Amino acid sequence: MNFTYSEKTRQLQEKLNAFMEKYVYPNEKTYEDQLNEGGNRWKIPAILEELKAKAKEEGLWNLFLPKNEVEDGLTNLEYAPLAEIMGRSLIGPEIFNCNAPDTGNMEVFLKYGTEDQKEKWLNPLLNGEIRSAFLMTEPEVASSDATNIECRIERDGDEYVINGRKWWSTNGGDPRTKIFIVMGKTDPNAERYKQQSMILVPRDTPGVTVKRTLSVFGYDHAPTGHAEIILEDVRVPAENILLGEGRGFEIAQGRLGPGRVHHCMRAIGAAERALELMCKRAESRVTFGKKLSEQGVIREWIANSRIEIEQARLLTLKTAYMMDTAGNKEARKEIAMIKVAVPEVCLKVIDRAIQVHGAGGVSDDFPLAEHWANARTLRFVDGPDEVHRRDIARIELKPYRNK
């Protein structure tokens, strides 16, 4: 295990940190203010596009692109500390065109898209001109078990007809979103992991209805949003199917591994920022004649936060390293492990930071509450903790089975 950051990584870390200090943190409020202007939050704040332009200019753009897909791409280990920095701000990832689910979707296009599809969807995505959504989760069934999916994709001549109801499709409320990748069943009678397929559905296809967006602990996450989307007799050309019928589960697996690592690295960034805010606050507030930082209980929170973050980061780096050197499949236990461990640490650290901030901590005067709400969703996004723990135990128990 060699986690030494490459020279390239170190330079990018430095540039990113400088960019965050100079442009991102000071504009978090600007972003929010522009969003709140005029009553309709479902529009793009100008500051976002300005910062995107600047990031692109400075070469801090599409850093998520993987080495094994594109020349000049980064390994998971190289990208991990960069994603961490971006994750310190909730508006960070998109500024660098590194936000979910677009990154995962772009990887899908890169790997499985036809030239035509790449031209039409991948290029504008890489340029940050359009957004995309990934329609997987369904309201009626527990989506942690992919075999539960009810959305149907049926062949009809040269077309596929899609019927289903999806929700939590991030970017679904964004006016810039043009393309959906939809997971559904082409053959409910095939073997368990061959029933699903993925298909491209342009957002403006007849039969597509974005019914509403869902909030996360009161946050609407405008302007991207998490949408509930109805698909009624939606027809797309047969070539829109990715890789072919029955390959949906396989694509999902390939997509989710790196996605989980990215989520975790960003969550560590959020935890680091919370620890920083906690320390600053503890140094600046006085109760009962002492600074908060002199209270033993607060010190314990700070120490535990550091201990927990440090361990979580190391496990994430190890996971990235294993993905790079042994492959995503070999690293599946590690991926499951960080998926459980990191959100838990992140939630604990932010919760302590909130408590140190008192009432201010739950408001939007600090980024803590929204970061917390975000991290809370990670405990079921891409599979709930419980399913990951079950998988880890299964792998762990294997050597002792039938002995």
Question: Using CB under 8 A, which residues numbered 210 to 249 contact its own copies?
Answer: 214-220, 226
What part of residues 341-360 is at the interface with its own copies (CB under 8 A)?
Answer: 341, 354-355, 358-360
What part of residues 263-322 is at the interface with its own copies (CB under 8 A)?
Answer: 275-276, 279-280, 282-283, 285-288, 292-293, 295-300, 302-304, 306-307, 310-312, 314-315, 317-318
Beta carbon of residue 381, minimum distance to its own copies (angstroms, whole number): 8
Judged by CB under 8 A, does residue 188 bind its own copies? no
| Rounded Cα distance, 255 and 106, in Å | 10
| Rounded Cα distance, 73 and 107, in Å | 12
Q: Which CB, 53 or 307, lies closer to its own copies? A: 307
Judged by CB under 8 A, does residue 38 bind its own copies? no
Among 19, 31, 167, 180, binds its own copies (CB under 8 A): 167
Q: What are the start-end ranges of the H helices in 74-167?
A: 76-86, 92-95, 102-112, 115-117, 123-126
What part of residues 53-112 is at the interface with its own copies (CB under 8 A)?
Answer: none
Beta carbon of residue 315, minimum distance to its own copies (angstroms, whole number): 5
| Rounded Cα distance, 5 and 160, in Å | 47
Q: Which CB, 65 or 229, lies closer to its own copies? A: 229
Among 37, 119, 145, 156, binds its own copies (CB under 8 A): 145
Residues 6+ apart with CB under 8 A from 251: 108, 112, 198, 242, 243
DSSP SS3 for 328: coil
Beta carbon of residue 33, minimum distance to its own copies (angstroms, whole number): 12
Judged by CB under 8 A, does residue 385 bind its own copies? yes
Q: How many residues bind its own copies, per CB under 8 A? A: 94
Contact 332, 368 (CB under 8 A): no
Q: Which amino acid is at 17?
A: N
**Strand 131-135 relative to strand 177-185: parallel, antiparallel, unpaired?**
parallel
Sign of the CA dihedral 157, 159, 165, 168?
A: positive
